[in-house]
Copies of this chain bind each other. A is one copy, B any other.
Amino acid sequence: MDQTDNLRRLKSIEGHIRGIQRMLEEDQYCIDVIAQIQAVQAALNKVSAKILDRHLNSCVMTAIQGEDAHARQKVLEEIVSVFEAATKS
């Protein structure tokens, strides 16, 4: 259900990217093209946050409440990795 929303968002981002291709083909002003790329990035950030939210409330919750210490450790490390990649530290 939540993924339906995310799919819809990704379809819209796909259309946005085709729009940017047209901007390049029509040789539109570079700064306007970059602004549209930055808008796509913001939309992608939103999708990532939604997917993370869903992940925390399902897999992470289950793993932490479970008895497998390794699985627990793995889901927590993955969150740190995703955060590090987001800030590209």
Q: Complex Cα distance A61/B56, Å?
A: 12
Q: Complex Cα distance A47/B18, Å?
A: 14
Give per-residue flags for A56-89: 1 if the beta carbon is below 8 A from chain B beta carbons, else 0: 1111110011000000100010111111111111
Give A residues with C-beta under 8 Å from B: 3, 6-7, 10-11, 13-14, 17-18, 20-21, 24-25, 27, 29-31, 33-35, 37-38, 40-42, 44-49, 51-61, 64-65, 72, 76, 78-89
In the complex, what residue of chain B is closest to A2 when comparing beta carbons? B24
Whether A83 contacts B80 by the Cβ 8 Å rule is no
Q: Which of B25, B34, B57, B64 contacts A65 (CB 8 A)?
A: B64
